[in-house]
Each structure stands twice: as structure tokens, then as C-alpha cells.
Amino acid sequence: MATWEPGPGGLSWLTIETEACRARLTAHGAHLCEWTPAGQEHPVLFLSPRAVFAPGVSIRGGVPVCFPWFATHPSDGAKPAHGFARTRTWTGEPLARDADGTTRLTLRLAADGATRALWPTDFAATLTFALGATLAMTFEVDNRGATPIDYEAALHTYLTVGDVARARVHGLERTRFIDKVDGMRETTAGDAPLVPAGEVDRVFLDTTAACEVEDPVLRRRIRVDKAGSRVTVVWNPGPEKGPAVADLGGDAWRRFVCVETANTAPYAVRLAPGDRHAMTATISVSAWR
């Protein structure tokens, strides 16, 4: 069953319930808020209990879409953090259903006067979801203008964990990264998996590797495979900053770790006129042993 209906804050929501999974998303920001494959007791995507649902406001949790820049704009701090895609209304296409029970949906965003005021380019973006026993998200950008364009993008995925201090992130060992908590210092990770205890904000560079989040509390492993991406970001605000985040608060910071499939500087995407680029994140879950 898949139905569009009014949601919180007056947003348009799609709820999908099939034998393969349960999912909820909104056209506001093309934002996937829930994905829980069959057999999982806990949602795989974390959604903040204080998330705000309103036009023009980004949603805390799920999978925000960062585009066409990541974090603060590189030359104009007055422009919205993480770009404008996560607060725009996207246009949905009809759903399709595969033989294996996977539901497919594509949402579209095209340049208009409001986007050109922030980013003077002609582009078209699509985000395609394949929602089933696994989750695949493909973000694609077309350059429809007459000059090259450069952009950053990230699928800012919040993954539910039982206790972030006990989680382990595998797959980024011996990888170069920028440590945003340590004054943007560039260093190389060691041989051990990443333990996201305390504040962590690391931009791992020139990596196409899959990541696996080991969660002994919820007794599962969440794997994030990717394609068309050369950057992985791992983020959690930690015990000092987490409670102060207005739409997070309390100890909610303990219940997620962000593992983001991205292309950011120095690996931003450059598109010639008429070219396109696709970036895909695929998430799967298995039992922890």
C-alpha cells in the first residue's frame, strides 16, 4: 500500500507499507524519514523526536539532501547551510513496483527564479528511491545550461543505533580525512574502526569504500555501499553539543550516527554543459554476531 496524504506541518507525505518494508517520505526536500525493512524491530533511519515539519525548514533525521553546497556556503555565509534542496518542494512521479516487492519513486527539482537567486545555474536534479528489503537512493544532476557548473552534494543519512558510544564504523581505516572538530586538520585514520564517542565530524577523502556500522546494542550491522561518490562524512554532535541542538535535544544524540555518501571539496562534481552525474547510496541490514 502506498498513499500520499497530508502530514505534519501541512506537508505532503507518502507512506509505503509492503511485505518488504515500511517507509515514509515527504516531497518537502525529497526527504526520506523512515525505512524499516521487514523483520527489523527498530527503524534503520533515525528521526529526531523534536524534528520540525514546516515549509522552509529542514527536517532533523532521515536522509536530508545537501545540494548544491555542503555545510556553510564557501563564500557567502548568509546563504542557507547545506544548500536549498532540503527545504524545497520536489515533484513526484508515479510509483512503480518490482516483482520482488521493491517500490520505486523518483522526485524531481529544477532550477527556477528562487534557486537562481542563490545559485545562478540551470540544472535538473532527481532523487530515485528503491524501497524494499534494501534501500537504494540515487541522486542525479543534469547541467542544462551553457557553461560548466560545480556543485557539492551529500545524502546526509542518519542511522539508528542503540548507543553511539558502543557503535563501530568499519571501512574507513587508513583513509585520509579532514577533522572539523580539530580545526580542519587533515590526518589519516589508523587501523582500528571508528568509534564515534564524543563529538565527531570527519570528512573522509578519496574513498569509494563501503562502510558498516556495527551495533552490539540493537544486535545488527548496517552496511552503506556507494557509487559515484569519493567522500564519506561521519557525524555526531556528542554529549556537549547534542543537547543544545534545538530540534534534537536531550540524549537523542546517543541514538544515531550519520554516515553520509557525498561529493564535497576537494571532490566536488564538475559538469560540462549537457553532462550529468549520479551518486548512489545503498543500505542493507544484517544480524550482529
Query: 84, 30 in Cβ contact below 8 A?
Result: no
Distance CA 179, CA 186 (A): 6
How is residue 87 annotated by DSSP?
G
Question: Which CATH number is 2-287 given?
Answer: 2.70.98.10
What residues of the chain score a pLDDT lower than 50?
Answer: none
pLDDT at 10: 87
Q: Catalytic: which of 156, 173, 199, 240?
A: 156
At 150-197, the pLDDT tens digits run 999 999 999 999 999 999 999 999 999 999 999 999 999 999 999 998
CA distances from 275 to 72, 108, 272, 280 (A): 26, 17, 5, 17
The alpha carbons of the chain give a radius of gyration, in whole angstroms, of 18
Residue 50 C-alpha cell reads as 523534536
pLDDT at 251: 94
* Catalytic status, residue 42: no
Q: Say if residue 32 is exposed, middle or buried (CB neighbours under 10 Å; 0-12, 13-18, 19+).
A: buried
The rounded distance, in Å, linking the Cα atoms of 44 and 283 is 9
Three cell numbers written together for 1:
500500500
Task: Give 181-242 as a 3 state SS string.
Answer: HHCCEEEECCCCCECCCCCEEEEEECCCCCEEEEECCCCEEEEEEEECCCEEEEEECHHHHH
Q: Which residues pair with 3 in a beta bridge?
A: 15
Whether 156 is a known active-site residue: answer yes
Residue written as grid cell 552503506: 224
DSSP percent split of the chain into helix, strand, coil, nearest 5: 10, 45, 45
Q: Domain extents for the chain? A: 2-287
